[in-house]
Amino acid sequence: MEEESYERAQKRVRELRGFYEHLGIYLVVNLLLFAINAVTSPGAWWFYWVTLFWGVGLLFHAVGTFLGGRILGPEWEERKVREYMEKEKKR
């Protein structure tokens, strides 16, 4: 039981780390794109398209990381497994 708890905690930490790495890369790359855009073509701002669409992806990553566990987390999985086991017993 404690091993399962440890594994869940490890998985959660990996998810958080993955999100924070994604966020850091997003910020650095978009700052670089802004600088490149400002130097090469200051009259035509294109960097914000990358920022916008990548930002949507980052938002989904954040929702999955911070809300996904609450919505479809381990408790939900365990409840569903019990439901399916009960259905199998009734057959």
Task: Tokens for 76, please give them.
Answer: 């939900």
Alpha-carbon distance values, 18 to 24, 40, 67 (Å): 10, 32, 15
Residue for token pair 């869940």 = 8
- How far apart, in whole angstroms, are the C-alpha atoms of residue 88 and residue 91? 5
In this model, does residue 3 exceed pLDDT 90?
Answer: no
Q: pTM here?
A: 0.73
Give 38-68 pLDDT, tens digit per residue. 999 989 999 999 999 999 999 999 998 998 7
